[in-house]
Amino acid sequence: MKKTDPISTEIIRNAFIAIAEDMNAGLIRSAYAPVIYEGKDCVVALLDENGNVLGQSSGLPLFLGNLEVCIKETARMFGWDIFKEGDIFFVNDSYFTGTHLNDATIYAPIFYKKTLVGFSASRAHWLDIGGKDPGGPMDSINIYQEGFRWAPTKIHENYKPRKDIIEFLKMNGRFGYTLEGDLNAQIAAGKLGEKRFLSLIDRFGLDMIKSAREEIFKQSEIIERQTVKKLKNGIYRAEGYLDNDGITKDPIKIKMTVSVKGEKITIDLKGSSEQKTGPVNCGFAQTVSACRVAFKNLINPKRPVDGGTFKTLEVKAPEGSIFSAKEPAACQWYFSILGLLIDAFIKALSPVMKNQSAAGHYGDSMVFILHGVDYRNNSPFIAVEPTPGGWGAWGDGDGADALINNVNGAFKDIPIEIYENKYPVTIRNYGIRKDTGGPGKMRGGNGLYKEYTVNTDLNLSLWFERSKTTGWGLFGGKDAIGPKVNLKFPNGKNEKRLKSNSYPIPAGTKVTTFTGGGGGFGNPFNRNPENVLEDVKNNYVSIPQAKKEYGVIITKNLKVDYIKTKKIRKGK
Amino acid sequence: MKYRIAADIGGTFTDFVIQEYESKKTFTSKVLSTPKNPAIAVMNGINKFKLDLKNIEFLVHGTTVGLNAFLERKGARVLLIMTAGVSDTYTIARGDRKTLYEVQYKKPKQLANKIDVHEVKERISWEGKIINTINQKDFDPIIKKINKENITAVAVCFLHSYINPKHEVLAKKILKKRIGDKVVISLSHEVAREWREYERSSTAVMNAYVGPVVNNYLAHLEKELLKNKYKKPLYIMQSNGGIIRAKTAIKNPVQTLLSGPVGGTIGGAALSKITNKPNLICVDMGGTSFDMSLIIDGKPNITNETEQESLPLLIPFVDIHTIGAGGGSIAWLEAGALRVGPQSAGAEPGPACYGKGGSNPTVTDANLYLGRIGPDSKLGGWMGLQIQESKKVLKQMSKKLNMTNTQLAEGILSIINAKMADAIRTITVKHGIDPRDFSLVAFGGAGSMHAVWIAEELEIKEIVVPPNPGTFSAWGMLQTDIRRDLNKNFFTILSEVKKKELQKEYDQLVHEASKLLISEGVKEKQMTFYQTADMRYIGQEYYVNISIDNKIDLNKINNNFHKTYKQKYGHSTPDAPVEIINLRLIAIGKVEKPIDYSKMKKENIINKTSKQNREIIFNGKKFKTQIINRSLIKKHDIYKGPLVIEEESATTVVPPNYSLVLDKMGNLIIKKIK
């Protein structure tokens, strides 16, 4: 067997990364659904013949490293013989993939001279998969309401598309052609990966590739072990709550215990809530994935992921809990608790990783949906968007204002000009929501507000979370202000609500969404008064807030009154 | 004698290409740039040739003045005016993340501070109707601030101004009356007539930000030229690959942001025509970066929007892709494994062989060690490279890796070459093309030293090194035409479009464009118009730009869309509905170019008399290799590798198993021996 050398290993390693990135770029650019091309709600990977990752590129951090599960599970169910040349597989079952049914995983074996040498795989969010509500319900109480549910299925067999299956899928989704377009984009991405992998094998030979792969995995593992080893051994904890499951009023607890021992980190989620009636449950595969994202945020964030990464990380969650949901738990909003889980991991380890940590962020996607019929062209429409909010501050930086949440991809807020063109809605007010970031030596980022006036009768669906556990402060920094949504009806009546499922609102209703801020870092009384003044000038902090939270007196002509400031800061 | 001149003003050198009209001879030259006042270098360069400025018929230049002002954040303080209620749009910048695994995430720094973003009450609807008229009183405090704080640049971006610019025009009128003449006023609809208020405001702000700097520079240069009796128009290279008069550029300075770098690609397009090679991959390798661009079917690839340092710009740009790979790229170790780049040793300390304390081997050190660069080469202005320093740092690393110096040096080059090839693959994948159908054109300092290996990785059959690769960008500027880009938002489902309606829209754009070209001194018979449209499947965000025949055929447009989509992405859905977003018009004013490529003067001859030899390592073996000055290469003789061709601005390395010929235009053509 031909063994690799440092030069070939590095060339092959760079090639694996480049292949995955090109696959992902292709998928994102040619996808139909905005949630893929803008939300980057997708991931691709090139894997070896055992289902280990060679190269991965993820649009959405949450999908970090759970594609291999699909291949390994398929093999476990049907045996490795199931993978034949010219086959392409499809699966979307939540308990299998860990995410919601909208996430379609497409994977295909790669053969080189009749031998199985690897897999291409991708996962992308399909717009509609035939659940009870367009796009996916907000109040489902079991998985059967959420859409079609598939075990591993050959969607292409022996180089031919299975038209019967594809028609079935199209027929069951509300937007058939987008479904087919996204499926084709995924298949094309897989083919690109296959082609490039085969030409790499042609060049280096299969033995060399395998030998280099072992070397690359080993390098990744060593680098991670070295980083973890430097952490102080101990047990670290954090906990927090989601508001509710959308059905009942009970808060949902997440409890995390992180133990660091030598070169190993274990995340145990024992003590977290049992699985819930509402759609907030998550499959174990996805919980592992979210823990990996959390881990990656602190441990070597810039290094690409491969089969050698995460060997030092173990994840445990009790079966039947919200983090390891069982049939028939509803899973549509599986990601809400994961945003909190990531914040919790960073908080838990902050005592030993102060420089890498950051305070909590506003926490969830804050999804805003309007649907109905556009009176201008009589067409039905659905407008879905997540809303940015404030992020937590850290050792030497203020948190970002109005930034998309951690479990989302690179989602861009929809421009007002496009929104008003596409939907019968007018947006008159949109801006940074001052005083919502947690005060601290470093200030938490502010959330935002956005006022929508609907110009015809429409339905409103909302999923706004994290009003109970807002973006928490760290090291003496304070917690942030949480979200709210105000409805002002044309008859003058007002209403506040954070969640709703297809709630009818008449023409002329103004809906204003307010997202929360991020937590502060360090004692706010230690913040440089000049920075507080800048914040006041820029309208991030009000004059009363400067006094109350920061102990800084700002005069009417916008100067710091140092004498009074000194006094007030000493007084507390 | 009459002349045409191009000046490419870079950070270190200003390059010149001068062409005689009658004899059609071409000369090149380099002078040191004068960053404080770039006009001085231009005058120095012209004076070096002892030309009478009266005899210059045509003068074009490319400049990085605006780009540098932006990159170094030394532009003007900009005050931005937006629609009341939504002015934070600019600061929020759509709230997206550019990198995903960072809990300590910083948003890209905007060019206008939040405190300088102001609101005026006004409102136009999505269909362009005025809902609220503009409130003139709201301007009072803004005007007071501009005057009091000596603000020199103002940008205005109102909602839906791309469809009805009335309020922006009115705002300019109001401002003009009460602020100084010298204040640059940048209206978003004039800079970028496209929807998306954040992107449009960002473009308008960039225009205002570089405006005063670029305008000062242009005014200064024109004055200097006039003083020396140059009375013809001064042309400037635009980011879109065409030229315009400096007087026009002053109105929209952002159009010239990439004025310098695009020259090479435009040179590539001209080379494509002259050599009859429609498909080229152009590469330019310098000390820290590697630039790639494509010529497909003889045309440079131009995108209609881009991001610079994460700030969006809705402006046509020649698509140049850059990665951090160059002569200065550093080799380093991680967990016992070898990595190369993207960090660069830069000019300080530079590669170890500069002898200025560089302690890691770089790509240049590897090239020097293997003999591919001669120790007496002029690199980064450094005479006399210290090969023993390269040896020392290679030795330190090769010991740790348990390999020989030669293995390490060749390995460093293999890794960096593979990285550059991967990057080229990425851009070809983006366009759905196969690099094997292309020729590789190498210019810039180090491009032709690595070109053969990059081509080998990509299975490209032919490498072209044009004459004077070091001044190729300036040469490119002499080969281009006057160009204006126009567009109009036209958001419609294709199946509902009427042919007449579409024709009318384009006719209007042509009418508008003709007027612009006339103001550039273009005669009607020199004008050419190209119609295109941005199209996509309904529901998509990204669009594909489709060219549209002057005689509109809706069926053909539809078919072309599906065809182009399939070519780019590998699949299409012919029965899915398609929509148009923008109509675009490229207006070209042909510039007379009496070029004869074969009469280019060769660069200065370093060693006229003898052919030299040097020992060079290829694939672990030492080869006695001929070093030949380019001017001594004879047309149509076949030279077999190993071989090194030296000229003042570049070194071309031809390994064993490759051969070289000089074509009749003077290009070096390198091919694999079968």
pLDDT bin (cut points 50, 70, 90) of residue B609 is very low
Minimum CA–CA partner of B107 in chain A: A400
Look at residue B619 and tell me whether its pLDDT is greater than 60.
yes
Instruction: Flag whether residue A380 sits within 8 Å of chain B, measured between CB atoms.
Output: no
* Contact state of A403 with B107 under an 8 Å Cβ cutoff: yes
pLDDT score recorded for residue B607: 42
Chain A residues lying within 8 Å of B338, measured CB to CB:
6-7, 9-10
Q: Residue B353's pLDDT is what? A: 92
What pLDDT is stored for residue A508 in this prediction? 98
- Structure confidence at residue B379 as a pLDDT band (50, 70, 90): low
CA distance B339 to B332: 5
- Looking at the complex, does the CB of residue A7 fall below 8 Å from at least one CB of chain B? yes
Average pLDDT over residues B346-364: 89
Q: What is the pLDDT of residue A28?
A: 81
B91 neighbourhood in chain A, CB within 8 Å: 401, 432
Are A416 and B159 within 8 A, CB to CB? yes
Residues A394, A377 contacting (CB under 8 angstroms): no
Whether residues B335 and A226 touch (CB distance < 8 A) is answered with yes
- Number of CB pairs < 8 Å for A and B? 214
CB B344 within 8 A of CB B360: no
DSSP-derived secondary structure letter, B353? G
- Residue B336: CB atoms within 10 Å: 14
- Residue A29 touches chain B, beta carbons under 8 Å: yes
A38 confidence band (pLDDT: 50, 70, 90)? low
Q: Is residue A421 less than 8 Å (CB to CB) from chain B?
A: yes
Across the beta sheet with A447-454, the strand order is: A425-433, A447-454, A510-514, A484-488, A494-496
State pLDDT tens for residues A165-218.
999 999 998 877 788 889 999 999 999 999 999 999 999 999 999 999 999 999
Instruction: Search chain A and give the residue with CA nearest B536.
Output: A32
Of B146, B395, B420, nearest to B281 by C-alpha is: B420
Q: CA-CA distance, A224 to A262, in Å (whole number)? A: 12
pLDDT digits (tens, 9 = 90+) for B77-126: 999 999 999 999 999 999 998 887 889 999 999 999 999 999 999 999 99
pLDDT average, residue stretch A440-448: 98
With CA atoms as reference, the chain B residue closest to A539 would be: B115
Chain B residue with CA closest to A425: the answer is: B126
Calculate ∠ Cα A344-A345-A351, nearest 5°: 100
Q: What is the pLDDT of residues B474-512, one digit of tens each?
A: 999 999 999 999 999 898 999 999 999 999 999 999 999
Best to test chain B binding among A417, A423, A453 (most B CBs inside 10 Å)? A417
Chain A hits for B415, CB-CB cut-off 8 Å, are 7, 10-11, 14
Q: How far is B93 from chain A (nearest CA, A)?
A: 8
Kindly determine whether residue B337 and residue A31, on different chains, have CB atoms separated by under 8 Å.
no
Beta bridge partners of A57: A44
Model confidence at B599: pLDDT above 90: no
Query: In this structure, what is the dihedral angle of CA atoms B53, B55, B57, B61, given to the nearest 10 degrees?
Result: -30
CA atoms within 13 A on the CB side of B2: 8
Nearest Cα to A484, choosing from A449, A536, A531? A449
Look at residue B22 and give its three-state secondary structure: coil
For residue B393, pLDDT over 90 is answered with yes
Structure tokens at B196: 């998306």
**Residue A169 parent element (H or E):** helix A163-172
**Which residues have CB under 8 Å from B577's CB, separation 6+?**
B493, B494, B495, B537, B538
Q: Please, which residues 176-195 of chain A have a Cβ atom closer than 8 Å to chain B? A: 177-178, 180-181, 184-185, 187-188, 191-192
Q: Mean of the per-residue pLDDT values for chain B? A: 90
CA distance B458 to chain A (A): 11
| Interface-testing mutation among B571, B573, B619, with chain A (most A C-beta atoms within 10 A) | B571
ipTM of the prediction: 0.93
Q: For residues A279 and A141, what is the distance between their CA atoms, to the nearest angstrom? A: 6
Residues, chain B, total? 674
Of the candidates B95, B126, B539, which has its C-beta nearest A404's C-beta? B95
Residues near A385 by Cβ (< 8 Å), separated by ≥ 6?
A: A367, A368, A369, A413, A414
pLDDT of B595: 59
Q: What's the pLDDT at A572?
A: 55
Other CB atoms within a 10 A radius of the CB of residue B334 amount to 12
Q: Is the peptide bond before A61 cis (omega within 30 degrees of 0)?
A: no
Q: Nearest CA of chain B to the CA of A566: how many Å?
A: 27
d(CA B667, CA A141): 72
Give yes or no for A10 touching B (CB within 8 A).
yes
The full DSSP string for B561-614 is HHHHHHHHHS---TTS-EEEEEEEEEEEEPPP----GGGBPPPPPS--S--EEE
Scanning every residue of chain A, which has its alpha carbon at the shortest distance from the alpha carbon of B105? A400
pLDDT band at A555; cut points 50, 70, 90: very high
Position B664 scores a pLDDT of 82
Could you give the domains of chain B? 3-70+216-256 (3.30.420.40), 75-206 (3.40.50), 482-589 (3.30.1490)
In terms of CA atoms, which chain A residue is nearest residue B421? A15
Tokens of A70: 């699909």
Q: Which of B95, B411, B542 has its CB closest to that of A413?
A: B95
- Do residue B539 and residue A175 have CB atoms under 8 angstroms apart? yes
Q: So what's the pLDDT on residue B30?
A: 82
In the prediction, which pLDDT does B608 show? 41
Q: What is the mean pLDDT of residues B380-397?
A: 84
Rounded to an integer, the average pLDDT of B433-458 is: 92
Across chain B, which distance is largest between two alpha carbons, in Å? 81
Q: How far is CA A59 from CA A190, B157, B424, B590, in A?
A: 15, 32, 22, 45
Spatial CB neighbours of B518, under 8 Å, sequence gap ≥ 6: none
Is residue B140 classed exposed, middle or buried when 0-12, 13-18 and 19+ CB atoms within 10 A define those classes? exposed
Structure confidence by residue, pLDDT tens digits, B236-269: 999 999 999 999 999 889 999 988 789 999 999 9
- Dig out the tokens for B179 from the structure: 């602020």
Query: Mind telling me how many Å the CA of A450 is from chain B's nearest CA?
Result: 9
Q: Which residues does chain B have within 8 Å of residue A415's beta carbon, measured at their own beta carbons?
A: 94, 195-199
Cβ contact (<8 Å) for A391 and B105?
Answer: yes
In chain B, residues with a C-beta closer than 8 Å to the C-beta of A446 are: none
Percent of chain A at pLDDT > 70 equals 98
- pLDDT at residue B148 in the model: 97
Nearest-Cα distance to chain B for A571, in Å, is 32
3-state SS assignment for residue B530: strand
Q: What is the largest CA-CA distance in chain A?
A: 82
3 state SS of B18: strand
Q: Which residues of B touch A358 (CB under 8 A)?
A: 103-104
Window 262-301 of A, Cβ < 8 Å to B: 293, 296-298, 301
pLDDT at B215: 92
Which chain B residue has the Cα nearest residue A184?
Answer: B571
More confident residue, A35 or A98: A98
Three-state SS at B159: coil
The token pair at B68 is 């540098």
Annotate B583-596 with b (16+ C-beta within 10 A) or e (fewer): bbbbbbbebeeebe
- Between positions 192 and 211 of A, the ones with CB within 8 A of B are 192, 196
Chain A residues close to B436, C-beta within 8 Å: none
Q: Within an 8 Å CB–CB cutoff, is residue A400 touching chain B?
A: yes
CB-CB neighbors (< 8 A) of A12 in chain B: none
Helix (H) or strand (E) holding A385: strand A379-385
Q: Are A96 and A114 in contact (CB under 8 A)?
A: no
Question: Whats the size of chain A, residue-wise?
Answer: 572
User: A223 contacts in B (CB within 8 Å)?
Assistant: 334-335
Beta strands in A42-142 (DSSP E): 42-48, 53-58, 88-91, 103-112, 115-125
Computed from CA positions of residues B407, B413, B416, B421, in that sequence, does the dihedral angle turn out positive or negative? Answer: negative
Q: Is the peptide bond before A328 cis (omega within 30 degrees of 0)?
A: yes
**Cα dist from A218 to A5, A209, A266, A308, A309, whole Å:** 14, 14, 21, 6, 9
> Per residue, what are the HEC states of B451-476?
HHHHHHHHCCCEEEECCCHHHHHHHH
* Cβ B85 vs Cβ B262: under 8 Å: no
Judged by CB atoms closer than 8 Å, whether chains meet at A14 and B100 is answered as no
Q: DSSP assignment of A447-471, as one string?
A: EEEEEEEESS-EEEEEE---SSS-S
Among the residue ranges A7-11, B352-356, B436-440, the one predicted with the least confidence is B352-356
Asked if A219 reaches chain B (Cβ–Cβ under 8 Å), the answer is yes
Coil/strand/helix, residue B248 = helix
Q: How confident is the model at residue B28 (pLDDT cuts 50, 70, 90)?
A: confident
The pLDDT score that the predictor gives to residue B378 is 63
What pLDDT shows up at residue B567? 84
pLDDT of A161 higher than 90 = yes
Determine the pLDDT at residue A178: 80
Distance between A76 CA and the closest CA of chain B, angstroms: 32
Pick the residue of B87, B102, B105, B114 with the most A CBs within 10 A to test the interface with A by mutation: B105
Nearest to B267 by CA among B483, B427, B468, B566: B468
Q: What is the pLDDT of residues B264-323, one digit of tens each?
A: 999 999 999 989 999 999 999 887 889 999 999 999 999 988 999 899 999 999 999 989
Residue B647, pLDDT score: 85
**pLDDT at res. B293:** 95
SS percent in chain A: helix, strand, coil, step 5? 30, 25, 45
Helix axes A6-30, A176-204, angle to 10 degrees: 160
Contact B334 A223 (CB under 8 A): yes
Distance CA B662, CA B331 (A): 35
Residues 306..325 of A with a Cβ closer than 8 Å to B: which? none
Residue A39 has pLDDT above 70, yes or no: no
pLDDT for B106: 94
Region B526-546: mean pLDDT is 89
The H or E element that residue A494 is part of is: strand A494-496
Is B95 in contact with A301 (Cβ distance < 8 A)?
no
Asked if residue B479 lies in contact with residue B58, where contact means CB atoms within 8 angstroms, the answer is no
Placement of tokens 């989601």 in the chain: A242
Give the best residue of A57, A368, A416 to mutate against chain B (max B CB count within 10 A).
A416
Model confidence at B10, pLDDT cuts 50, 70, 90, reads confident
- pLDDT score, position B173: 97
Nearest to B427, CA basis, from B522, B277, B295? B295
